[in-house]
């Protein structure tokens, strides 16, 4: 397996980012075809991929992107409009580039040729108005003559730069005359074979801009000495600049040539100034690190948290000096934990942008115009959470477009805009992140869901379910209300995967629907999967941890309630009735209860539940350890943690406790009604 330092792996990582930029630019061009900035962004991404691919040995990528770039250059030059057919062909070509980079052995033979033909047809077959003879097409560069001198840095060849490729790219811009600059070549016995001693002078005439020439040197501009000078002044009746003198060493700063008011100022080199301390700081502002190393760092921090808990327990013996050291180490451990967790946090906007392409393709396949609206892109979430959220959100979006949004004619008949709307939003709510997928479609039909569930044998015809319980049937394996099976949905696969994945992330799903107006599906997720603050409680002889983010308050259990034999009861807290559940009964404890029991009020969304425990032991930094596969079906616990004395405490699953409380409440109401 390639390591992080492997040049090919570095290229793949950078190419993935460039392909993402290319895709976003192409999708934006589908909506704003006249935006020259977007065209330039797409062209720069292609140009960079081509240069990097050739540099790192991806010849098939470089060759394909070169032809792709040539076709797209007609749009950049204003010779052809950016049509929907071109955007569609360019997106497919982008997918082919990714296949050539990631899995070249699996790339379909002949697909590249077919895609390039489609690109040429989209560009050359466009009904672009022909320019009259002698008239420049809009946006086309006028013909110009340039003088380019460049010396590569001493380490350029070692770093993979190839001057022959740069000369080839300059030749593609027009007619060129190339002269080698040999004045810096040392005697033979002093030559370093790994250093570049030659320089080049290129006289170029063609329809190209300064920016196009600068892009040739995009990978070496930091260390190279490059001078670009225009020899002919546009729209100025002056004689052509004299031919270049015999090669001379390129100075650190170009010499100032005598000029007249009509002459342009001498061109400045692209990169000749030395890097100062500030520039070095900017270059070192970010660092690419393997995800495995971050995971290993998080594991070590977790072990450090456990070791500190043990130290604190030993220091509680009363020795002042040891207690002071334990407190100082605790402060440092907390800061290290927070810093490490912040390194793993990424803005969720990096996930949202992936779905623009999905909606583009769904809109085309289903014939439904769809607009994507996003908000809260800056909301940060653990990188592992973001990676595992991708598939659930894909299923939710596909279902929203296929089942939720009406056909264009039906929308117009209902007084809605022809184009449907899918909204992705994220926001913080305490120690949770709420990710919501909303549509403005027809909403959920509870009776239709119930009828389908009865038909499939998921519930009995006599079952009485609340509306939110009916909505949860959507997440049952094999459930679907689609009348026809399509390539998008209808087989009952997907929504159960969503629920299973969200539960594995210790999250929950809420559904809110408005008949005729749309549906909101909200995923409630913890910020991180590694370390949380927990409230340690004792029930019988066992210790358990409750995520502190779900704890609202702790109160004493009043004597009247304390005297009841069990079951589902209500507690009055500041005028509000809160149901409570005895953990002793859930855990089937046989030891006698403590005389003064406590109630921990936990919340999730609008639900509140009191959990009766024997004793509250205090807060605890909880390092979450996954349960074994043998305990995968035990829903009461979401994991385990190690305490300071080496014992294990199970972490209670708040969502499951709320479900137990709701089920007990339903049974109590049924008994009372009977």
pLDDT at 435 exceeding the cut of 90:
yes
Residue 669 tokens, joined:
């109401």
pLDDT for residue 130: 43
Return the top range by mean pLDDT from 38-47, 302-311, 419-428, 665-674: 419-428
Query: 497 pLDDT band (50/70/90 cuts)?
Result: confident
- Please answer whether residues 254 and 267 qualify as being in contact, where contact means their C-beta atoms are separated by less than 8 angstroms: yes
Residue that wins the pLDDT comparison between 134 and 543 = 543
Class of domain 144-236+266-275: alpha beta
Task: Say which CATH architecture domain 347-526 belongs to.
Answer: 2-Layer Sandwich (3.30)
Domain 531-673 sits in CATH at 2.30.30.40
Scan for tokens 């709307």, then name that residue: 421
Which of 11-25, 236-250, 252-266 is modeled with the greatest confidence? 11-25
**pLDDT tens per residue across span 300-336:** 888 888 888 778 777 777 677 787 888 888 888 878 8
- Which residues, 6+ apart, have CB-to-CB distance to 455 below 8 Å? none
Beta bridge partners of 365: none
- How far apart, in Å, are the Cα atoms of 538 and each of 474, 533, 603? 37, 17, 20
User: Residue 373: which pLDDT band, with cuts at 50, 70 and 90?
Assistant: very high
Residue 673's pLDDT is 64
Q: Is residue 113 over pLDDT 90?
A: no
Q: What is the Cα Rg of the chain in Å?
A: 33
- Residue 440's pLDDT band (cuts 50, 70, 90): very high
Could you read off the pLDDT of 420-434 as tens digits, one per residue? 999 999 998 766 789
Fold annotation for 291-344: Helix Hairpins (1.10.287)
- Count Cβ neighbours within 10 Å for each residue of 432-457 and write b for 16 or more, e otherwise: bbbbbbbbbbbbbebeebbebbeeee
For residue 437, pLDDT over 90 is answered with: yes
Q: Which CATH architecture has domain 7-124?
A: Up-down Bundle (1.20)
When mean pLDDT is compared across 35-49, 131-145, 376-390, the lowest value belongs to: 131-145
Highest mean pLDDT among 8-12, 89-93, 235-239: 89-93
- Helix, strand and coil content of the chain, in percent to the nearest 5, comes to 40, 20, 35
Task: For the chain, give every domain's residue range.
Answer: 7-124, 144-236+266-275, 291-344, 347-526, 531-673
């Amino acid at each position: 397996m390639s390591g992080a330092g492997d040049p090919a792996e570095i290229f793949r990582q950078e190419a993935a980012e460039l392909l993402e930029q290319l895709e976003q630019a192409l999708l934006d061009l589908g909506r704003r075809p006249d935006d020259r900035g977007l065209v330039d962004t797409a062209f720069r991404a292609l140009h960079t991929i081509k240069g990097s691919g050739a540099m790192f040995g991806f010849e098939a990528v470089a060759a394909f992107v070169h032809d792709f770039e040539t076709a797209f250059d007609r749009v950049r030059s204003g010779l052809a409009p950016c049509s929907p057919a071109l955007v569609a062909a360019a997106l497919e070509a982008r997918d082919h580039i990714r296949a050539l980079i990631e899995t070249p052995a699996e790339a379909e033979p002949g697909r590249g040729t077919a895609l390039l033909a489609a690109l040429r047809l989209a560009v050359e077959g466009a009904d672009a108005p022909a320019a009259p003879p002698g008239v420049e097409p809009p946006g086309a560069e006028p013909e110009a003559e340039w003088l380019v001198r460049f010396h590569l840095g001493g380490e350029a060849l070692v770093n993979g730069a190839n001057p022959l490729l740069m000369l080839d790219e300059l030749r593609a811009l027009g007619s060129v005359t190339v002269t080698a600059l040999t004045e810096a070549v040392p005697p033979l016995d002093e030559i370093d074979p790994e250093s570049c001693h030659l320089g080049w002078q290129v006289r170029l005439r063609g329809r190209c801009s300064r920016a196009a020439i600068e892009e040739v040197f995009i990978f070496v501009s930091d260390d190279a000495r490059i001078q670009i000078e225009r020899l002919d002044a546009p729209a100025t009746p002056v004689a052509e600049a004299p031919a270049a003198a015999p090669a001379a060493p390129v100075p650190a700063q170009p010499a100032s040539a005598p000029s007249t008011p009509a002459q342009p100022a001498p061109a400045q080199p692209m990169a000749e100034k030395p890097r100062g301390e500030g520039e070095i700081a900017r270059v070192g502002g970010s660092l690419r690190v393997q995800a495995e190393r971050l995971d290993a760092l998080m594991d070590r921090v977790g072990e450090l948290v456990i070791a500190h808990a043990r130290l604190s327990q030993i220091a509680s013996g009363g020795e002042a000096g040891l207690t002071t050291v334990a407190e100082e180490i605790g402060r440092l451990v907390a800061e290290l934990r927070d810093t490490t967790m912040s390194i793993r946090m990424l803005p969720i906007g990096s996930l949202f942008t992936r779905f623009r392409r999905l909606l583009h393709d769904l809109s085309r396949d289903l014939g439904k115009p769809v607009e994507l609206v996003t908000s809260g892109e800056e909301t940060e979430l653990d990188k592992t959470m973001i990676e595992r959220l991708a598939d659930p959100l894909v299923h939710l979006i596909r279902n929203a477009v296929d089942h939720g949004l009406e056909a264009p004619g039906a929308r117009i008949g209902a007084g809605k805009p022809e184009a449907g709307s899918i909204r992705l939003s994220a926001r913080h709510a305490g120690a949770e992140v709420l990710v919501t997928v909303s549509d403005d479609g027809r909403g959920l039909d509870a009776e239709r869901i119930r009828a389908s569930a009865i038909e499939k044998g998921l519930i009995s015809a006599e079952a009485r379910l609340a509306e939110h319980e009916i909505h949860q049937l959507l997440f049952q394996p094999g459930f679907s209300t689609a009348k026809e099976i399509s390539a998008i949905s209808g087989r009952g696969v997907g929504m159960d995967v969503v629920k299973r994945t969200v539960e594995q992330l210790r999250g929950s799903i809420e559904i809110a629907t408005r008949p005729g107006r749309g549906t909101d599906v909200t995923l409630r997720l913890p910020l991180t999967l590694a370390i949380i603050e927990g409230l340690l409680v004792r029930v019988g002889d066992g210790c358990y941890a409750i995520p502190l983010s779900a704890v609202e308050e702790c109160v004493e259990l009043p004597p009247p309630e304390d005297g009841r034999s069990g079951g589902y009861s209500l507690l009055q807290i500041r005028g509000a009735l809160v149901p409570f559940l005895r953990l002793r009964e859930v855990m089937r404890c046989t030891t006698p209860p403590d005389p003064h029991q406590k109630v921990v009020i936990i919340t999730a969304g609008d639900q509140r539940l009191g959990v009766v425990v024997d004793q509250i032991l205090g807060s605890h930094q909880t390092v979450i350890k996954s349960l074994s596969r043998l305990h995968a079906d035990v829903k009461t616990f979401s994991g385990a943690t190690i305490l300071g004395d080496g014992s294990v405490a199970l972490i209670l699953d708040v969502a499951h406790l709320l479900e137990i409380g709701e089920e007990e409440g339903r049974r109590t109401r049924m008994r009372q009604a009977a």
